[in-house]
Chain A
């Protein structure tokens, strides 16, 4: 029931007195009228902007925040008002809903902000009035599509799940050529051959000069028949192989066969095979020649390579109704004008308008403003009709075109947006990674500081650090304490991304190398704990160092120091021949692609070694960054 009508309830009840005399039974007692408190004004303070309304207005909708006791949670005693820390501009509309019973959607507001406010105040968006409902739904749908697009493109470029079958990798390579160089090569090769094939089809028909003993021109196709045949064969072979590979790799073969691209592929290569089969039969060679027309379909294979073509196709598909309307109205107009034209020109002598279908040609040519001039009206009436025809033709064709154009533009911009987002994503990911690592490094910093403060009373805080932390110290300390609690709960510790990646690669590499897998797995698990211990060790070792640029850099430096020394010792003390074989030691860089294998060599003391257990150190020293291939 609308809010305003609730105000008329007293009237309806009073009018019920009209039923009393005719009532056959006694009336029920009325509900106890809780002596309504004086209808007072309520003051709502939304981010400083004050709104006032009657209490009864708000209580019209008792299942929303403002109409129920939930608003008491926001009561602010000092100022005797209800304070909401929300957007006052959107609140205006929400309050109007209580007043008028209609919820409006302001066009200039962001749809997600509006939705959030509605959800906060407990109002379902379905009650948006008819005047604004369509706009709301459109914007919402657009937003959902955009979010969906984002998610889809994210999913596409996710980290490759490591265990994909060969078939899946192949399909992925076909669908996204950018994933691997092989796919890219394949993509370009097929593109090249499509172009070659189409060019060959075209050049085949060009007159190429005369043969001896002949007078008329022959086409190039006839002159160099063998060459063209070989070219055609090569192209068709490539296309066939490609098609079969795609068919093999498709996750759902039936769906693939039904898809448009596969149909185009088949139509493109069929003429060749049919031609092979049918060259013997003279009767159907005429049909065979016609079949060659289908070879032009190869040009549609380009749509895999060009996003623009795909967009065009998609647009035409989505504008099917407009196109249908265009066609229908054109047909109607053509028939009308052709009929009139025919009868108008019937009288004139030697008129080209021999029948109504013959007049169709004239009408079409005139309506599309082509005007070939092969058929012209001669009578006055005919000329008048012809002029009206051309004018209306312009109108009829111009009408559905803007719809198609706007559809195309919308879809095109959407795809542009997707591409832009992909490009921006790299920088975005970089920023996110920096922020994340900043967060972890902050925590790790805190940990080192905090741990220090556990053991040593004074907290040595770098002055530069102090400046940074000043921004939100309370929040950060509580947050860090929370993370620390989590660590204690799970008996695991947070490490920074690098070490994690390293250990991850160790784990994966541990699967692959055929020799001594058990040792590597053992060492890798040790490696994880070692990483954290390394941090700790590091903190002990460098108690008051200036931790500039974050924790990570210092770790980096130390690890490089570690590693730089390593190769020398390794070469000196290499006893494990296998190790030497598998690891191409590159002494220039600190990057060694090494399978983590604990060397059964005697521990070599490194200068940094504080005398702690050597074997963990050892494996730790072997944990090096691996160059990403």
Chain B
């Protein structure tokens, strides 16, 4: 008899507790009460990052572009990035659109690091235009310097085989799968070996900036190809 009584009462109690919890949860869901301290709604992350570049005159002084060229460059830049800065993801997206067959994200990552000279995680118009100035209007020395900077991932002044391998793999990734002849897995490695054989004069396993520049200046092909993109703008 008592058991039956306990049973019913126990059931009632359990039922009430369950109902109360459920209603609390429902109210929380509806936003009427909140348990935690932070607000219930999602904080809309306003991308408050806006960047305005320095004036045309200053940029003219800093780079080797004239006014008209800077105007054209800025218009293109602002069209694609209205907020005035490029972050790495946008950079990757933009660059990948030029290489649809392969995966350009790794190379874009390295490029981004090469352009982002002040290491603030975003490429502003100044960074962009200064990088372009070196690439298009700089002396061969400066260009080679820039290329070395690109390959030297950790910026320690030495290009190791691993760094070179990363770069090489990134470049080969851009090709994608459908190539002729078929890309083998160790093609990048072989290419790195060739590169090191050529560049590493003292065979210490790393390439320094001087070795690099010396070697490139002695190579006809490389010298010629450096002048290739003079008239891009």
Contacts from A to B (Cβ < 8 Å): 1-2, 4-5, 7-27, 29-30, 33, 39, 343-344, 346-348, 379-381, 384-385, 388
Which of B76, B97, B191 makes the CB contact (< 8 A) with A22?
Answer: B191
**19 sample A-B contacts, Cβ–Cβ < 8 Å, listed by A number:** A1-B98, A5-B80, A10-B76, A12-B95, A13-B229, A16-B228, A17-B228, A18-B111, A21-B144, A22-B191, A23-B222, A24-B194, A27-B221, A30-B228, A39-B72, A344-B15, A347-B4, A347-B8, A384-B15
Instruction: Say yes or no: A343 contacts B146, CB within 8 Å.
Output: no
* Shortest distance between the CB of A13 and any CB in chain B (Å): 5
Given that A14-B135, A18-B150, A22-B191 are known contacts, is A347 also in contact with B15, CB under 8 Å in the complex? no
Instruction: Say yes or no: B225 contacts A27, CB within 8 Å.
Output: yes
Which of B15, B191, B221 makes the CB contact (< 8 A) with A26?
Answer: B221
Which of A17, A29, A346 makes the CB contact (< 8 A) with B147?
Answer: A17
Which of B79, B114, B150, B216 makes the CB contact (< 8 A) with A7?
Answer: B79
State A2–B76 Cα separation when bound (angstroms). Answer: 12
State A7–B71 Cα separation when bound (angstroms). Answer: 12
Beyond the given A26-B221, A26-B224, A33-B231, please list 8 additional residue pairs across the A-B interface where CB-CB is below 8 A: A8-B80, A11-B132, A13-B232, A22-B164, A30-B231, A343-B11, A347-B8, A381-B11
Task: Find chain A residues with CB under 8 A from B75 CB.
Answer: 7
State A381–B14 Cα separation when bound (angstroms). Answer: 10
State A33–B128 Cα separation when bound (angstroms). Answer: 23
Which 8 pairs between the two chains have the least Cβ-Cβ distance? A7-B76, A347-B8, A14-B135, A381-B15, A27-B225, A20-B225, A10-B232, A4-B80
Which of A5, A11, A15, A22 makes the CB contact (< 8 A) with B167?
Answer: A22
Contacts from B to A (Cβ < 8 Å): 4, 7-8, 11-12, 15-16, 19, 72-73, 75-77, 79-80, 94-95, 97-98, 110-111, 114, 128, 131-132, 135-136, 143-144, 146-147, 150-151, 164, 167-168, 171, 191, 194-195, 212, 216, 221-222, 224-226, 228-229, 231-233
* Shortest distance between the CB of A500 and any CB in chain B (Å): 64
* Shortest distance between the CB of A70 and any CB in chain B (Å): 25
* Shortest distance between the CB of A317 and any CB in chain B (Å): 36
Given that A1-B97, A15-B111, A381-B12 are known contacts, is A20 also in contact with B194, CB under 8 Å in the complex? no
Task: Find chain A residues with CB under 8 A from B114 CB.
Answer: 18
State A29–B76 Cα separation when bound (angstroms). Answer: 26
State A134–B21 Cα separation when bound (angstroms). Answer: 43
State A5–B97 Cα separation when bound (angstroms). Answer: 8
Which of B12, B147, B191 makes the CB contact (< 8 A) with A20?
Answer: B147
What residue in chain A is nearest B98 (Cβ atoms)?
A12
State A154–B98 Cα separation when bound (angstroms). Answer: 53
What residue in chain A is nearest B5 (Cβ atoms)?
A347
Instruction: Say yes or no: A14 contacts B132, CB within 8 Å.
Output: yes
State A7–B97 Cα separation when bound (angstroms). Answer: 12
Instruction: Say yes or no: A10 contacts B233, CB within 8 Å.
Output: yes
* Shortest distance between the CB of A443 and any CB in chain B (Å): 58
Task: Find chain A residues with CB under 8 A from B171 CB.
Answer: 19, 22
Task: Find chain A residues with CB under 8 A from B231 CB.
Answer: 30, 33
Task: Find chain A residues with CB under 8 A from B77 CB.
Answer: 7
Task: Find chain B residues with CB under 8 A from A343 CB.
Answer: 11
* Shortest distance between the CB of B221 and any CB in chain A (Å): 5
Task: Find chain A residues with CB under 8 A from B216 CB.
Answer: 21
Instruction: Say yes or no: B95 contacts A347, CB within 8 Å.
Output: no
Task: Find chain B residues with CB under 8 A from A30 CB.
Answer: 228-229, 231
State A33–B80 Cα separation when bound (angstroms). Answer: 24
Task: Find chain A residues with CB under 8 A from B136 CB.
Answer: 10, 14
What residue in chain A is nearest B149 (Cβ atoms)?
A18
* Shortest distance between the CB of B145 and any CB in chain A (Å): 11
State A196–B225 Cα separation when bound (angstroms). Answer: 97
Which of B16, B128, B143 makes the CB contact (< 8 A) with A17?
Answer: B143
State A24–B73 Cα separation when bound (angstroms). Answer: 32
Task: Find chain B residues with CB under 8 A from A8 CB.
Answer: 76, 80, 94, 98
Instruction: Say yes or no: A384 contacts B232, CB within 8 Å.
Output: no
Given that A15-B135, A27-B228, A33-B231 are known contacts, is A21 also in contact with B11, CB under 8 Å in the complex? no
State A287–B8 Cα separation when bound (angstroms). Answer: 48
Task: Find chain B residues with CB under 8 A from A26 CB.
Answer: 221, 224-225
* Shortest distance between the CB of A398 and any CB in chain B (Å): 18
* Shortest distance between the CB of B179 and any CB in chain A (Å): 15
What residue in chain A is nearest B150 (Cβ atoms)?
A18
* Shortest distance between the CB of A384 and any CB in chain B (Å): 6
* Shortest distance between the CB of A17 and any CB in chain B (Å): 5
* Shortest distance between the CB of A369 and any CB in chain B (Å): 21
Task: Find chain B residues with CB under 8 A from A346 CB.
Answer: 11
Task: Find chain A residues with CB under 8 A from B212 CB.
Answer: 21
* Shortest distance between the CB of A37 and any CB in chain B (Å): 13
Task: Find chain A residues with CB under 8 A from B150 CB.
Answer: 18
Instruction: Say yes or no: B80 contacts A379, CB within 8 Å.
Output: no
Instruction: Say yes or no: B79 contacts A16, CB within 8 Å.
Output: no
Given that A15-B135, A17-B143 are known contacts, is A347 also in contact with B194, CB under 8 Å in the complex? no
Most interface-central of A17, A21, A22, A343 (chain B CB within 10 A): A21
What residue in chain B is nearest A17 (Cβ atoms)?
B135
Task: Find chain A residues with CB under 8 A from B229 CB.
Answer: 13-14, 16-17, 30
State A26–B219 Cα separation when bound (angstroms). Answer: 11
Most interface-central of B72, B76, B110, B150 (chain A CB within 10 A): B76
Which of A14, A39, A385 makes the CB contact (< 8 A) with B232?
Answer: A14
Instruction: Say yes or no: B19 contacts A384, CB within 8 Å.
Output: yes
What residue in chain B is nearest A35 (Cβ atoms)?
B231
Given that A27-B225, A27-B228, A384-B19 are known contacts, is A344 also in contact with B11, CB under 8 Å in the complex? yes
What residue in chain B is nearest A18 (Cβ atoms)?
B150
* Shortest distance between the CB of B66 and any CB in chain A (Å): 13
Task: Find chain A residues with CB under 8 A from B131 CB.
Answer: 14
State A13–B233 Cα separation when bound (angstroms). Answer: 10
Given that A379-B12, A381-B11 are known contacts, is A22 also in contact with B168, CB under 8 Å in the complex? yes
What residue in chain A is nearest B107 (Cβ atoms)?
A18
Given that A4-B79, A5-B80, A7-B79 are known contacts, is A21 also in contact with B147, CB under 8 Å in the complex? yes
Task: Find chain B residues with CB under 8 A from A29 CB.
Answer: 228
What residue in chain A is nearest B111 (Cβ atoms)?
A15
What residue in chain B is nearest A347 (Cβ atoms)?
B8
What residue in chain B is nearest A33 (Cβ atoms)?
B231
